Copies of this chain bind each other. A is one copy, B any other.
Amino acid sequence: MRTMATRARHPERRQEPLSRERIVGAAVELLDAVGESGLTFRALAERLATGPGAIYWHIAGKTELLVAATDAVVAPTLDAADAADATPQEAIRTLAGDLFDAIDDHPWVGAQLNRAPAPPPLLRVLERIGGRVQALHVPEAAQFTAACTLLNYILGVAGQNAANARTAQPGADRGEFLDAVASTWAQLDPAQYPFTRTVAGQLRTHDDREEFLAGIDLILTGIAARR
């Protein structure tokens, strides 16, 4: 009787039981807070107030954990990206933009999408893009190429985004980081890197997101021109 009352009085101090959901949620928080290198079974166990071995009862290993964490970010993003009345082009643009925002908020997602061959979150993206490509009335034989081109382009940007986040010191904002990259490029040997030097200035003035969407538009233009 006493112990029950005591428990009831401090419900917030009771540790909820471990679950796949709680573990994945804590992993996402940890990845957001300290980056890919910070996700450790020991750190995760400490955050969950348990031992590292406990996690293995719910999740097979680190690979599965990372896929689940990636899916936890990507799946809701895709569901939110369903604009009802829009042209297929607009829908693809919106989908890509939403994905960009999600990857911008969780840069480690960009690396994870590239780590496994077609993991569940990637299949989700392919499916969404494919559906929109069909709506564009692309001939069936060309649908696969069109969807994969868009997907691979998104993957490339996602990967670079993750690489940037890995390198940038946590303090500096993206503006400072891009400035640093741009000045490195500007100092390249003009004989060997004429184009990259010329283009270095645009790194500073261009908006990442706009630049990304401009690439999407370029591919969409290619798809339309083929039709």
Q: Which residues of A contact B (CB under 8 A)?
A: 111, 114-118, 123, 126-127, 130-131, 133-134, 143-149, 151-157, 159-160, 162-164, 166-167, 181, 185, 188, 192-196, 199, 202, 206, 211, 214-215, 218-226
- List the B side residues contacting A143 at CB < 8 Å: 195, 199
Residue A131 contacts which of B126, B133, B195, B215 (CB distance < 8 angstroms)? B195
In the complex, what residue of chain B is closest to A201 when comparing beta carbons?
A: B144
* Set of chain B residues within 8 Å of A130, measured between Cβ atoms: 195-196, 199
- For the complex, what is the distance from the CA of A221 to the CA of B159, rounded to whole Å? 25
Minimum distance in angstroms from A162 CB to a CB of chain B: 8
The distance in angstroms between the C-alpha atoms of A211 and B214, with both chains bound, is: 23
A163 adjacent to B202 (CB under 8 Å): no
Q: How many copies does the complex hold?
A: 2
Known: A130-B195, A130-B196, A220-B222. 13 other contacts (CB 8 A): A114-B163, A117-B160, A117-B167, A117-B181, A143-B199, A145-B214, A145-B218, A152-B157, A153-B156, A155-B155, A155-B160, A156-B156, A224-B225
**Are B160 and A215 touching (Cβ within 8 A)?**
no
- Residues of B near A220 (CB, < 8 A) are 222
CB-based contact B163/A117 at 8 Å: yes
A149:B215 contact, CB within 8 angstroms: yes
A160 touches B152 (CB 8 A): yes
A154: chain B residues at CB < 8 Å are 156
Given A117-B160, A155-B155, A163-B117, decide whether A144 and B222 contact each other with a Cβ distance below 8 A: no
Q: How far is the CA of A149 from the CA of B149 in the complex (A)?
A: 10
B115 touches A163 (CB 8 A): yes
Quote the shortest CB–CB distance from A70 to chain B (angstroms): 13
